[in-house]
Every structure is written in structure tokens, then in C-alpha cells.
Amino acid sequence: MDYLIKFPNQNGVYCHFWEDECVVYHEPSAKTHLIDGLGTEIFKVLSIKVTTRSQLLRHLKNAFELPQDFHLETFLDNLVSEYQTLGLLEVRDN
């Protein structure tokens, strides 16, 4: 299953990056979120361009040395779903 991932259409999601962490401010809820690890890389990629799930998976596999038993696809889907619930990301069918 491939889907498109991007920042929400309405403005109001702002990111600030420090090495392997980022702070994401969600203006509509006035909440600030500390993101680290793979989550930071997701926001770095999305701050440059809208991407698909498969493109993001490929990028993460190349950017990190992950254990062989790590289920990146499941982890990514869960993380993207969590960020979507918080209003930080928008997901659409590709």
C-alpha cells in the first residue's frame, strides 16, 4: 500500500531541527512536539518535498543501519498514523 505524505494543507506546522531531534509546533492546537530518531528524518524529508510511503521507506533504509528484525514498514505506518492524528501530517491515497 503506497500513500502520499505531506504537511497539512493549512499552514501552521513549523519544524526546527537539531542534529537527530526536531521540535514541531502545531499552531492550530498550540502544542509543541519533540521528535527524535526516525521521526526527525521523516520531518526533514517532508520539509523539502512531499513524498510517498515507498520513497520514504527507501530513504530511511539508506539513511539508517537498522537491525534485520526491525519491521520498518510497520514502524513507519504507525508513526505516520500517530503524526496524522496529532495534525502534524496529512496522508492521502497515491
CB atoms near residue 93 (< 10 Å): 7
- Which residue do the cell numbers 520513497 mark? 55
Does the reported pTM lie above 0.75? yes
In this structure, the chain runs to a length of 94
Q: Which tens digits make up the pLDDT trace of 21-40?
A: 999 999 999 999 999 999 99
What's the confidence (pLDDT) of residue 80? 96
Residues 43 and 77: their CA atoms lie apart, in Å, by 14
Query: Using an 8 Å Cβ cutoff, are 7 and 13 in contact?
Result: yes
Among residues 16, 1, 15, 17, the alpha carbon closest in space to that of 89 is found at: 15
